[in-house]
Structure 1
Amino acid sequence: MNSSNSSPKEELFTPKAVQNPYPVYARMREEEPIAKLMFPDGQFGWMITRYEDAVEILRDQRFVKDMSKMFGSEYQSIFTSNMLFSDPPDHRRLRGLVQQGFTPKLVEAMREHIQQIADGLLDAVEGQDTMELIDDYAFPLPIIVISEILGVPVSDRDKFRVWSNSIVGAANAEEGPDVYLHMQQFTEYLAQWFEQLRKQPGDDLISRLIVAEDAGERLSEQEIYGVVSLLIIAGHETTVNLIGNGVLSLLQHPDQLKKLQDNPELIKGAIEEMLRYNGPVEFSTSRWAGEDLEFKGHAMKRGDLVIVALDSAGRDGDQFTDPDLFDITRERSRHLAFGHGIHMCLGAPLARLEGEIAINTLLRRFPNIKLREDANELEWRPGMIVRGVKEIPLSL
């Protein structure tokens, strides 16, 4: 498609833009920052690309997350009965119960253990000439961590990996042939597991949720499924792509890679820049206009779908100086990689810690890593939620 005579929104979901959406986003922010368009799944809705508008939408409670309010309870599933897809007051109750597993103190107490996991995964590739970053490192590290927090038995982690990949793929519009089978296996597994924990609860987060009472309110059966599926699936997927996209950005900017290797204490700021520059979650999850309303001069009807392009907001020149420059010493940026407002990701401190440990440990253990393929040839996952590369082959 010739960009000179086509509108940027027509280019947004083309293979070229999946590889690198940022030039398209720059034109959208300039020409049509609040655009009505058709999404890859055939739905029409609004795409928000500017930072300032994104913040307003993410905070505006006229836009609702609970699909059943808009379209009836038949649209509710175990994958949506959680705080990510709920509105106040349900949201507050659900989040309050889950937050107890992710306090800053609890997360910081995991530092040493996450370090051991990272070292163990890199021990497994020591002595090899090559590694595949996603499969060998970026994927297993967060799935091990979240499994331990939740109490998933070690012997079942590989199953969770298969199910999680399949279900996220479906949500990301890359539906595989086995997705319904995997959803069924996942829910059957959870049912048996919960039954066992009711009889013999442990000190893991799932046991605490099953027996929890918050102001006299237990989680319903559906909500326990919803929360667990959110934590297992979304809870590690973001971190996989934070590590993958972050390492890729460093490899594409050798000066920044060297700077971080020489000054590992810069890692905190480096993680924030990775999240801003090429964040792991490209789009917000769905919101709907809860009433007929006007937003910045655009008339939106009740039920209109609204999606925020989080990665576009991260490159908005009105918010960030030199937004297309990758600079790990940039002053801490108020990026939207973990969302904003009441739905801000409660696992953000854990994801940041995992990213810091994973990336610094990789650079320390293998100081000469290089990409084994041209970065432009890497295959990005298509779809509407996560932004990440399928494989990153490295030479060690």
Structure 2
Amino acid sequence: MAPASIYEQILQFANRADPYTLYTELRKTPVARQEDGSYVVSTYDAIVALLHDPRVSSDAENLNEPPPTGGLPPSFIMRDPPEHDRLRSLAMRHFGPPHSPRVVDNLRGDLQRIVTGLVDGLDGRTRADVVDDVAYPFPVTVICHLLGVPREDEPRFHTWATAIVESIGPGEGDAEERERRHQAARLELGRYLGELAEAHRRDPGDDLMSGLVTYSGPEGSMSDVDVMATCALLLLAGHETTVNLIANGMLTILRNPWMIDRLRKEPELIIHTVEELLRFEPPVHFLPQRVAFDDITVAGVDIPKGSSIILALASGSRDPAHVHDPDRFDPDRPYIQHLGFGGGIHQCFGAPLARLEAQIALRELVSRLVNPRLVTDPPPYRPSAVLRGPRHVEIDYDQVLPSQQL
């Protein structure tokens, strides 16, 4: 058996806690062909070029060997223009500019109240799990409210979300079995969301799902299956990536304890801190499914039409050709440009909300926990190399300050 490639080593769970030394090796070959015929792209400039290249497809049907279909159909992030643009526009109509420009900003008060309540719940204890106690329940509560999903149904979709996230993209184990689990969970989630969408159609509210099922305009409306696929995307991406961002963020801050005093004295620094976290410890490490529409030459390497392209976003954000001293966490960088939310027409739909959630959660934790410190470092990690984040971040602290003392 041939030795594992650098990319294959990154996917191995044993390297989940620190893939960054391997990314340094990976960038020595900016476009690396794998044994299965896929191409891994790892430098910043090459990734950005492909994110904006119309010859790169997001639709797996354009692969030389398309995967079997089944389960819930792909959401708009796995479609190409013009259908991608139409569906994204219909979703954005109810979430952001130009039709709903104040949705995220109007949530500030609610976001602060949710986080304050979660941190209040840590009072009377001296140990907490950042993931279970704050990073998970916070964005789940928010996305349920936005979509119109009953919060009491969380245990149901949490099971499906875990199965989907832990089987996304390449990884260890049998690929067909991962895909089977992935599709089965998506199908169950789709059925649940289809029933919920029908209930919102009969009795619409002011939530996003109601908007999707009732709107019909010049650009048409969403089909039932597209509503299910869009809601599944927003439900999963709306909390899973933010969980990782908050958990990775607190982990990084505690590994750099000088940040605690800085953030307490300069609360406005949290904005740059979150941007640096998106570069330094991003919640999404790979875009594992892009396809060459045509023969493409990248960094001197010819990628044939129909080939699978894997964009190593986390590697690109630490490319020394793009950023000085990339392996140092530094929120004072005058120029922080990263691939934490992807780029091009598929740039993360929920980026403004994720940024705000991370800013509020991390600021509250740092401000109110007295003498916080890590219990275990490195912490245990979740299986996925794509959505990389700790399963738990246990911390000890001396006390919780009342919120009115801030």
Deviations 1:259-301 (A, max 9, x none): 1222111000000011100111011141011123333322222
The alignment-based identity, stated in percent, is 35
Q: Distance in 1 between matches of 2:238 and 2:288?
A: 14
Deviations 1:292-327 (A, max 9, x none): 333332222222111111111111111111111101
Aligned counterparts, 1:166-315, within 5 A:
166-171=163-168, 173=171, 175=178, 182-315=185-318
Shift of 1:206: 0.5
Matched letter for residue 139 of structure 2: P
Q: Distance in 1 between matches of 2:240 and 2:214?
A: 27
Deviations 1:133-174 (A, max 9, x none): 111110110011011000111321232222212221122547
C-alpha distance 74-211 of structure 1, shift in aligned 2 (>3 A): farther
3-state DSSP of counterpart to 1:389: coil
Q: Distance in 2 between matches of 1:216 and 1:326?
A: 44
Q: Distance in 1 between matches of 2:115 and 2:190?
A: 30
Q: 1:327 corresponds to which residue?
A: 330
Shift of 1:216: 4.5
Tell me if 1:18 matches 2:11: no
3-state DSSP of counterpart to 1:306: strand
Contact 2:62 2:291 in 1 (8 A): no
Shift of 1:178: 7.1
Tell me if 1:356 matches 2:370: no
Tell me if 1:78 matches 2:75: no
Tell me if 1:144 matches 2:145: no
Q: 2:404 corresponds to which residue?
A: none
Matched letter for residue 392 of structure 2: E
Contact 1:142 1:354 in 2 (8 A): yes
Contact 1:79 1:229 in 2 (8 A): no
Unpaired runs of at least 5, structure 2: 173-177, 398-406
Q: Out of 307-316 and 118-127, give the one that drifted further.
A: 118-127
3-state DSSP of counterpart to 1:225: helix
Aligned residues, how many?
384
3-state DSSP of counterpart to 1:106: coil
Q: Out of 251-260 and 280-289, give the one that drifted further.
A: 251-260
What's the TM-score, normalizing by structure 2? Answer: 0.89
C-alpha distance 12-369 of structure 1, shift in aligned 2 (>3 A): same
What's the TM-score, normalizing by structure 1? Answer: 0.91
Contact 1:169 1:176 in 2 (8 A): no
Q: Distance in 2 between matches of 1:316 and 1:179?
A: 32
3-state DSSP of counterpart to 1:226: helix
Shift of 1:337: 0.4
3-state DSSP of counterpart to 1:286: strand
Pairwise CA RMSD: 2.3
Tell me if 1:36 matches 2:33: yes
Contact 2:39 2:309 in 1 (8 A): yes
